[in-house]
Chains A and B, each alone.
Chain A
């Protein structure tokens, strides 16, 4: 049998940026505005700040873990090394499900946009075509897929910047009084409930690290691409919130901005400037496509990593000899995404994606806490980057992730319970399955680190 080649190392920092921002920017074009319906303008601002704080803290934890381990699997590998096989498989599955559900949701939205332009067009064939085309592009090569993502994401982000500065330079009239209209429509409980949609501003940025194994210089490209992506998203989120609340009505009961499907596009329509309307329509379409494209890339890499470590069949870990992509893992994203898309329940699919993401945000800081316990700084010289104020930041990030997850109880009780039950079953299944193959983990052989004196991690 011919041996399978490894993944090609060809990606640069801008590809990492394109992968991270490409997946997330869709949340600034749609979805974030549901925070307005729950908690008003103030609730939306609070949700953005709380979620932003959580993501900055998680990226600090990820920087310390990533610079120490230098492994491609990101959260999955950290859970595998510092928590155990059950948690590793749950994180790998959560990442897979998070991105694949998001891909299906993006494809459905592209089809809805197409149907809005041509009402006789059917939603399902367009959804199918989007999923098939993106699978085809990702099958043929990661560089082409992420270069395409870079251009689509750059255009979509530029559209937000142009729209914001057109408003501030007086191209169209903005209404500052709308910032205070219905600022806290549902009181304190509304502010709390709005938190569940806060992750929309940043959900999936951690996926930028999933292409580390395909980067030319991963220790430089991943932190640079990911941190630049986080800054892009923070700027984009602030501009979007500011310009949309000034242009669209966010009154009580929830109407206008709070229930809008495409808030940035509708804000452009409210501005009445034809070029901006066309630009934001293009941005909405491109951001959905780039998000779905990035999701195919990330979910296939997650499945590939699970397969390589024998959590799922090793059959999926073969690399294409010509295109050097994990082609079986890429193809396997297709039936699952089509199944999610076929269900047609957009909000249910997205909620499953959010719960999966939040589970990762609980386990990433927990991996750091375990890492610091196993390798205390005073006796272990294994970390090139030391994150400040740890482990307090890790505990705080975990607390925020759990609080945001608990707010999903308002409106998505069954989704939350189903998703948690799913990951709990996965945890025990993989934990028990891999207990059979327990061996003493040799840190010096596997990682080049000294064995921790009180270590109890089994593999």
Chain B
């Protein structure tokens, strides 16, 4: 049961960091495009 919840908490972390990563990646792309 503990392992099950560790995996779920891990997935939530992954989702959160995935969203943060997507936003930061898109923002850096836009900034590069604007500099050109």
Contact = CB atoms under 8 A, between A and B. Distances in A.
Given A1-B34, A132-B16, A120 B23 contact: no
Given A4-B34, A136-B22, A120 B1 contact: yes
A322 B20 CA distance: 18
B27 to A, nearest CB: 6
Dominant secondary structure of chain B at its interface with chain A: helix
Interface in A382-441: none
B19 to A, nearest CB: 4
A327 B19 contact: no
Contacts of A131: 16
Contact of B9 (A122, A136, A139, A328): A122
Given A139-B23, A327-B30, A129 B36 contact: no
B36 A132 contact: no
Contacts of A135: 19-20, 23
A162 interface: no
Nearest to B4: A120
Interface string A122-135: 10011011011101
Contacts of A321: 30, 33-34
Interface in A128-164: 128-129, 131-133, 135-136, 139
Contacts of B8: 120-121
A138 to B, nearest CB: 10
A444 interface: no
A318 interface: yes
Given A121-B9, A125-B12, A126-B12, A132 B34 contact: no
Nearest to A125: B12
B34 A125 contact: no
Output the residue of B23, B24, B35, B36 with the most chain A CB within 10 A.
Answer: B23
Nearest to B20: A132
A320 interface: yes
A68 interface: no
Given A4-B34, A121-B8, A122-B9, A331 B16 contact: no
Given A121-B5, A125-B13, A328 B19 contact: no
Given A2-B33, A121-B5, A318-B31, 5 more contacts: A2-B36, A4-B34, A120-B5, A135-B19, A318-B34
Chain A to chain B: the 10 pairs with minimum beta-carbon distance, closest first: A120-B5, A125-B12, A132-B19, A129-B16, A128-B16, A132-B16, A136-B19, A2-B34, A125-B13, A122-B9
Interface of B: 1-2, 5, 8-9, 12-13, 15-17, 19-20, 22-24, 26-27, 30-31, 33-36
21 contacts: A1-B36, A2-B34, A121-B9, A122-B12, A125-B9, A125-B13, A128-B13, A129-B16, A129-B19, A133-B19, A135-B20, A136-B19, A136-B23, A139-B26, A139-B27, A318-B31, A327-B26, A327-B27, A328-B27, A331-B23, A334-B23
